[in-house]
């Protein structure tokens, strides 16, 4: 489909002619097209040498010929220049409206995971969202929304090519906008959060697009993660001053069935105890950094594993 924009140099009179689906009103030309389709706009100007097209008032990169193909909604205008660099006035706008093609369909699926690693209080961890278009048609203008519970704080939204993201602090949600996803194409989205409160964390992510989805049951996904209210000190000072003389893991009393192991930098076990009760004093060990492994039996009878480093200091301040 072609539309001509007729421009006269050094004149305030600008004429626009159109045919087909175009409608003309006092504001200019309005063209309706279906999603996935394009339309050719053609600027006609006597003795014109170059052109510059604009979308929504902004310069369009590399749009300097008399013809352009557009497939996005917006307001398009054009200006022409002759060999003497004399310019025409900017044309009246051509408004392009893109409507979804209801005859096409795209079966979108979404799945969200937070990994198998056990998470303790104040720890940062990541979520991964996988979106797939199972077809049969190409999906356009996908919106992925993740509604987060208040137990989590958003720390970083990882950049993903061909997807723009934004965080809404009022609704505590993240939204990604994806221009399109071909049939059988997948996209992965990632972001980092910090655990603020202990307990079970449940949040839901969803996806939608312009096309009709034949199976909306897989347009939502639920991720459940347990945040354990454990706090692991990085340093303890067993110097017999009755302050921080034992390595105390806050919240461990809720998990009496546990195993606590300490290793030196060579990987040798220097301390082991089942049903650890916050009573390790580092006896017989030199100052330095050690590696710990804590296993706890959760309320679901599943063993969770936590790992980290401890610095042992004996000198009194």
Residue 180 has pLDDT above 50, yes or no: yes
Q: Report whether pLDDT(261) > 60.
A: yes
265-293: pLDDT as tens digits: 999 999 999 999 999 999 989 999 999 99
What range does the domain containing 21 cover? 2-99
Residue 193's domain is classified under what CATH number? Answer: 2.60.40.1530
The predicted model gives 210-222 an average pLDDT of 91
* Assigned token pair, 48: 């014109």
Question: Are 43 and 74 in a shared domain?
Answer: yes
List, for residues 82-130, the tens digit of each pLDDT value.
888 888 888 888 888 888 765 788 999 999 998 778 888 888 999 999 9
How many domains does one find in the chain?
Answer: 3
Position 219 pLDDT exceeds 90: yes
| pLDDT value at residue 239 | 85
Pick the more confident residue, 25 or 271: 271
Q: Inform me whether the pLDDT recorded for 294 exceeds 90.
A: yes
- The predicted structure's pLDDT at residue 5: 52
Whether residues 86 and 138 fall in one domain: no
Q: Which of 82, 99, 116 is the last residue of a domain?
A: 99
pLDDT, greater one: 38 or 9: 38
Please say whether the beta carbons of 150 and 121 come within 8 A.
no
**What is the arithmetic mean of pLDDT over 40-68?**
89
Res. 16 pLDDT band, cuts 50 70 90: very low
Q: Are residues 44 and 66 in the same domain?
A: yes
Query: For position 173, what pLDDT does the model report?
Result: 94
pLDDT-derived band at 315 (thresholds 50, 70, 90) equals: confident
My answer on whether 254 and 296 are in the same domain is: yes
pLDDT reported for residue 92: 85
- Mean pLDDT for all residues in the chain: 86
pLDDT at 10: 42
CATH code of the domain covering residue 85: 2.60.40.10
Q: Last residue of a domain, which of 32, 65, 99? A: 99
Amino acid 4: pLDDT = 55
pLDDT one-digit tens code per residue, 127-169:
999 999 999 999 999 999 999 998 899 999 999 999 999 999 9
How confident is residue 18, by pLDDT bands cut at 50, 70 and 90? Answer: very low
- 293 and 204 in a common domain: no
Where residue 290 sits, what CATH number does that domain have? 2.60.40
């Amino acid at each position: 489909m072609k539309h001509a924009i007729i421009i006269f140099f050094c004149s305030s009179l600008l004429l626009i002619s159109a045919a087909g689906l175009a409608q003309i009103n006092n504001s200019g030309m309005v063209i309706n097209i279906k999603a996935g389709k394009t339309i050719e706009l053609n600027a006609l100007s006597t003795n014109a040498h170059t052109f510059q097209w604009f979308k929504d008032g902004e310069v369009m990169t590399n749009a300097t010929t008399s013809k352009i193909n557009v497939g996005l909604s917006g307001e398009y205008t054009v200006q022409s220049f002759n060999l003497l660099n004399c310019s025409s006035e900017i044309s009246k706008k051509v408004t392009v409206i893109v409507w979804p093609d209801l005859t096409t369909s795209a079966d979108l699926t979404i799945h969200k995971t937070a990994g198998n690693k056990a998470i303790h209080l104040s720890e940062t961890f990541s979520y991964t969202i996988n979106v797939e278009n199972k077809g049969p048609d190409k999906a356009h203008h996908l919106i992925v929304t993740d509604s987060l519970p208040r137990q989590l704080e958003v720390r970083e939204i990882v950049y993903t090519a061909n997807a723009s993201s934004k965080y809404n602090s009022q609704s505590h949600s993240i939204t990604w906008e994806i221009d399109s996803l071909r049939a059988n194409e997948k996209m992965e989205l990632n972001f980092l959060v910090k655990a603020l409160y202990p307990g079970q964390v449940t949040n839901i992510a969803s996806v939608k697009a312009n096309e009709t989805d034949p199976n909306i049951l897989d347009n939502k996904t639920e991720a459940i993660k347990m945040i354990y209210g454990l706090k692991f000190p990085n340093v303890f000072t067993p110097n017999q001053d009755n302050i921080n003389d034992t390595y105390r893991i806050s919240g461990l009393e809720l998990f009496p069935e546990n195993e606590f192991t300490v290793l030196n930098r060579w990987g040798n076990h220097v301390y082991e105890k089942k049903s650890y009760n916050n009573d390790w004093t580092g006896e017989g060990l030199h100052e330095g950094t050690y590696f710990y492994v804590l296993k706890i039996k959760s309320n679901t009878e599943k063993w969770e594993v936590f790992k980290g480093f401890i610095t042992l200091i004996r000198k009194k301040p």
